[in-house]
């Protein structure tokens, strides 16, 4: 894996306290991307009401 030389958000030099980011702003921006589902893997849309056929771990009635 290649080593990055800067903040993955803005490219500025990193600070040890916020590694791999340059500061709190970029660290928080990255967290908001995760929380807001900004980082997603493309795939087929799934109907949440459809039965998936997978065991949910609940006992059947």
**What is the predicted pLDDT for the residue at 52?**
59
Total length of the chain: 61
d(CA 26, CA 37): 17
Predicted TM-score (pTM) of this structure: 0.59
Backbone angles phi, psi at 34, to 5 degrees: -65, -45
**What is the predicted pLDDT for the residue at 57?**
59
Is 26 annotated in some ligand binding site? Answer: yes
How far from the centroid of its chain's Cα atoms is residue 24's Cα? 17
pLDDT in tens, the chain (61 residues): 556 689 999 999 999 999 999 999 999 999 999 999 888 888 888 888 876 555 555 665 5
Is 7 annotated in some ligand binding site? Answer: yes
């Amino acid at each position: 894996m290649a080593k990055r030389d800067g903040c993955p958000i803005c490219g500025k030099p990193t600070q040890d306290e916020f590694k791999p980011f340059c500061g709190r702003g970029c660290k928080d921006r990255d967290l908001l991307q995760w929380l807001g589902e900004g980082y997603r893997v493309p795939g087929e849309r799934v109907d949440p009401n459809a039965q998936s056929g997978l065991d949910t771990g609940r006992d059947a009635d």
